[in-house]
Amino acid sequence: MNQPTAITNIIIIALTAFFSYRGFINPPFLRQFLFSTRSILAGRQYYRLVTSAALHADWVHLIFNMYSLYSFGSAVELFFGPGTFLAIYLASIVGGNLLALLLHRNEDYYALGASGGVCGVIFACIFLVPGSSVQLFFIPVNIPAYVYAILFMLFSYYGIRAQRGNIGHDAHLGGAIIGLLTATALYPSIIRQNPVLYPVVMSLAILLLVFLNVGPVISRGIRQFTRKKSDDEKLFTFRRYDSNNADKK
């Protein structure tokens, strides 16, 4: 008997792989559609809030995100339908990028990748499927959902404040929160099904967002960070992408 297939999720993954590959070999195309605070705010190119999710820094970045999206997105689509999956994924992409736009609004900041949308789908799946667990690369055991959710929030907050690894943790955090809120709006019963975990995660998320916006520490850190990087290097939040080599192709 044939197993059901999450067609919508597969189409999203295929389109993301296609546009990401085009960005690999065509840097001007990538620069035209990646996340850019200056282009969005001054140039009113709001489409970048969505199109940046279809671009990735390199194959490792792309494969990791698409593997995660396939694993969790397929479960959401098969159990709750393609409409629910698309609503959560797109809302999480925009929500994650809006948080990044807020935090970096005074900087010339660039980013790319579907991580915000993927994190939103992961968090929605955790709460839509009670008792679920998460298995990460290089860790041969399943991590309980509540442990993953809390550690994820704390790690994202630390990453934003410390600017560790050039990773867009702010989009991860924003995407996760919006993904959970979207799932809640569609299926309010998940609050009742997770009477302890849900308020803990949402309260923690709200507290982290408050802490991010009450002090000038992060803005000073970003300014110091961006001044040290060349124009080409600032285009990417992942150091693995070599823009100079891409320009030669």
What pLDDT, on a 0 to 100 scale, did the predictor assign at position 47?
A: 96
What pLDDT, on a 0 to 100 scale, did the predictor assign at position 11?
A: 97
What pLDDT, on a 0 to 100 scale, did the predictor assign at position 178?
A: 93
What pLDDT, on a 0 to 100 scale, did the predictor assign at position 138?
A: 63
Helices (H), 108-216: 115-128, 145-162, 169-186, 189-193, 197-214
What pLDDT, on a 0 to 100 scale, did the predictor assign at position 137?
A: 63
What pLDDT, on a 0 to 100 scale, did the predictor assign at position 212?
A: 67
Tokens at 36, concatenated: 């850019």
Domain boundaries, the chain: 7-244
Per-residue pLDDT of the chain (249 residues; tens, 9 = 90+): 467 889 999 999 999 999 999 999 999 999 999 999 999 999 999 999 999 999 998 898 899 889 889 888 988 999 999 999 999 999 999 999 998 898 888 888 888 889 899 989 988 988 897 777 777 666 677 777 677 777 777 776 776 666 654 456 678 888 988 999 999 999 999 998 888 888 888 888 778 777 766 654 444 444 444 444 444 444 444 434 344 444 444
Helices (H), the chain: 7-25, 27-33, 37-41, 48-51, 59-80, 82-103, 115-128, 145-162, 169-186, 189-193, 197-214, 217-227, 243-248
The superfamily in CATH containing domain 7-244 is Rhomboid-like (1.20.1540.10)
pTM, to two decimals: 0.79
Q: Which of 107, 105, 110 is nearest to 223 (CA)?
A: 107
